């Protein structure tokens, strides 16, 4: 199973499709229960949540020691891979 991910058109407002699963109808949008992460100008990870479900999904991944989110945070905080 693959998570949904966006194509370059999501960023630049080009023509659809904007995402792999073809669920988004406009650029820079997020589906219900979703979230996305990006690095701000200082290189810090930021999260944008579509709604409370998106935040809950991210927090569940953050606390799951086998998830990629958990591994990225652990690496950033402790310098561990």
CB 36 within 8 A of CB 30: yes
CB 23 within 8 A of CB 5: no
pLDDT recorded at residue 77 = 66
Give pTM, 2 decimals.
0.63
Tokens 């669920």, residue? Answer: 23
pLDDT tens column, 9-52: 999 988 999 999 999 999 999 988 888 888 889 888 888 888 99
* 76/81 Cα distance (integer angstroms): 9
């Amino acid at each position: 199973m693959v998570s949904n991910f966006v194509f370059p058109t999501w960023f630049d407002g080009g023509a659809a499709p904007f995402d792999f699963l073809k669920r988004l109808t406009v650029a820079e949008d997020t589906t219900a229960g979703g979230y996305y992460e990006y690095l701000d100008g200082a290189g810090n990870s930021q999260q944008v949540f579509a709604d409370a479900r998106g935040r809950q999904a991210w927090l569940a991944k953050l606390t799951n020691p086998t998830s990629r989110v958990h591994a990225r945070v652990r690496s950033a905080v402790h310098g561990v891979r």
